[in-house]
Amino acid sequence: MPVIDLEQAGRRRIVVGIGMRRGVSMTNLRMALAESLQASGGRTRDIAAIVTIEGKHNEPALQELSDVLAVPLSGLPADRLAQQQVPNPSMITERAVGTPSVAEAAVLAAGAALMAPKHVGKGVTIALGVLPPDPAQSPIEPPTRAMALASIADDQHVDLDHHGDAEIAPGLTDLAVNVRPGGPPRWLSERLHRALDDAGAYPDQRRALHAIARRHGRPLDQVLLTAGGAEAFVLLARALSPRYAVVVHPQFTEPEAALLAAGHDVHRLVLQHPFTLAPAHVPPAADLVIIGNPTNPTSVLHPAADILALARPGRVLVVDEAFMDAAKNQNHSLAGGNGLPLMQVPGLVVIRSLTKTWGLPGLRVGYMVGDPDVLAELNGAQPLWPVSTIALAALEACAEPGALHEAAEYAQAIAIERNLLVHGLRDLRGVEVVPDPEASFVLFHVQDGDVHGRLRMAGWAVRRADTFPGLGPGWLRIAVRDRATTDAFLDSLATILATIDVRNQ
């Protein structure tokens, strides 16, 4: 007798494969299933059966789930699961039970086709499959698109502490660090030098605080000054107590690193190429969501409406806009000001930095704007005098109308150089560029994972991107530079790729 009776299943066509540790709670099990269905576009009422490995089907949480959904629960023999060819194997699982994925193998053994990659939660793995259509019924189409574009994955091990500055070495042209080359403009350097005269007194934030509040059209209690964007992530991790923190990847790794260092569990929402976000990708249970816009390293600018759709009661929504000044379409900023509407959304916090546009990575200067209640909590976690006198002078200077006009002109110049770089990369055989980049860098993929090393040998420091969750070998990020530098880089890359082509013939 087949595991699932198609006639009895009727219009229900989704099979839920579950692999889990013993003792997993019903809460964790239901949450994992809800997230998997949410990400894939599936519906609870379409579930026809639950399948797992023999011996686990007597777990209390699984039996309770079966009762709640009013669907049969089957435990399949380990040798039957071991015969299935699963797309996402785990050596640990194979050593433990004989199959490299209980959840996926159970779905396949039940006669269903996998809808998408498995979902990994706390102590439980979920795989969803769709049964073959019953000729007598209108089939349920497998909702593959949403899950193909994003999935929750907590188990990819990458070096979260690797950053672009680690790529720099004497004799290499720096395309790895996304900071304005040459340091700050002359007028800003002079302002900072003059601020040294005030360094004999403790820092006074008042003028800088008022300047940022005016720049974004916000009251003072909606602004918090920080020692760079990195401190903002540390404050969030130390001051908040999220039960279900989600970091949208690929993105800047410091938010996750800060959360992990503070002892929080982190769930990665990994977007797939072309790395665009749909609000439905984010699990409803998430009470802290962190996303970059434009995102580092993808350079993707998410529409403001899509990000605002993530806001909901009880959730803190953090948007890292460190590279927004480089975007030609500023209308998707949620910080407000400069002609943009003020987004007073409960739980919304926007992080800004002066590092990128003004060439000030060593000064550590940034700020947050948004929900005053959240900022008050973060303020309580800050030490006394967290922002230096010179950094405060930079905040004040860079918020002035003349500086904002210069930043807009700089963004236009970056857009021109970025277009030249993108077109040059697309002309090279075997290079895939992430479309429509908006930041001061571009992400691209090459088939040969050794291109990074060959570029270093040729004198170029580029950012290897396999240390970003969701990316692997062959992904590289390069900063936008002037035309002469871009042309020279493209020539070197073309030569390297041609050499690889000859070698592979």
DSSP, collapsed to helix, strand or coil, labels residue 364 as: coil
Whether residue 159 lies inside any domain: the answer is no
Two tokens, residue 213: 């509040």
d(CA 465, CA 359): 22
CB neighbours of residue 183 within 10 Å = 14
Is pTM, for the whole model, over 0.75?
no
- Mean pLDDT within 430-441: 94
301 and 359 part of one domain? yes
Q: Per residue in 58-90, is it b (16+ CB within 10 Å) or e — as a string?
A: ebebbeebbeebebebbbbeeebbeebebebeb
Contacts of 18 (CB under 8 A, 6+ apart): 29, 50, 51, 52, 56, 62, 102, 103, 106, 124, 125, 126, 127
Question: In CATH, what number is assigned to the domain containing residue 225?
Answer: 3.40.640.10
Whether residue 1 lies inside any domain: the answer is no
Whether residue 259 lies inside any domain: the answer is yes
The residue out of 400, 435, 450 marking a domain boundary is 400
368 and 233 part of one domain? yes
Question: In CATH, what number is assigned to the domain containing residue 446?
Answer: 3.90.1150.10
d(CA 5, CA 3): 7
Domain extent, residue 465, equals 164-178+405-504
Q: Is the peptide bond before 89 cis (omega within 30 degrees of 0)?
A: no
d(CA 474, CA 431): 10
Two tokens, residue 400: 């002035």
Give percent of the chain above pLDDT 70.
90
- Place 123 in a pLDDT band, splitting at 50, 70 and 90: confident
- Mean pLDDT within 135-146: 37
Q: How many domains does the chain have?
A: 3
Whether residue 372 lies inside any domain: the answer is yes
Q: What's residue 7's pLDDT?
A: 52
Express each pLDDT in 209-254 by its tens digit: 999 999 999 999 999 999 988 899 999 999 999 989 999 999 999 9
203-206-211 Cα angle (round to 5): 120
320-325-326 Cα angle (round to 5): 105
Question: In CATH, what number is assigned to the domain containing residue 97?
Answer: 3.30.420.180
Strands 441-446 and 431-433: what pairing? antiparallel
Q: What's residue 189's pLDDT?
A: 86
329 and 242 part of one domain? yes
Whether residue 377 lies inside any domain: the answer is yes
Length of the chain: 505
245 and 173 part of one domain? no
57 and 129 part of one domain? yes
140 and 19 part of one domain? yes
Whether residue 313 lies inside any domain: the answer is yes
Two tokens, residue 340: 């943009």
409-413-415 Cα angle (round to 5): 115
412 and 394 part of one domain? no
Say whether pLDDT at 140 is over 50: no
392 and 429 part of one domain? no
The residue out of 368, 400, 432 marking a domain boundary is 400
The residue out of 369, 400, 431 marking a domain boundary is 400
What are the DSSP E strand ranges found in 187-341?
Answer: 223-226, 245-249, 266-271, 288-292, 316-320
428 and 396 part of one domain? no
Q: Per residue in 23-48, is it b (16+ CB within 10 Å) or e — as a string?
A: ebeeebbbbbbbbbbbbbbbeeebbb
Give the CA count within 13 Å in the CB-facing half-sphere of 6. Answer: 13
The enclosing H or E element of 207 equals helix 206-216
Contacts of 212 (CB under 8 A, 6+ apart): 223, 225, 367, 369, 395, 399
Whether residue 157 lies inside any domain: the answer is no
Helices 228-239, 372-381: axis angle to 10 degrees equals 90
139 and 169 part of one domain? no
Q: Which of 41, 61, 49, 62 is nearest to 14 (CA)?
A: 49
82 and 206 part of one domain? no
484 and 354 part of one domain? no
CB 153 within 8 A of CB 186: no
Express each pLDDT in 261-283 by its tens digit: 998 889 889 998 899 998 888 88
d(CA 363, CA 421): 29
Express each pLDDT in 400-424 by its tens digit: 999 999 989 999 999 999 999 999 9
Whether residue 158 lies inside any domain: the answer is no
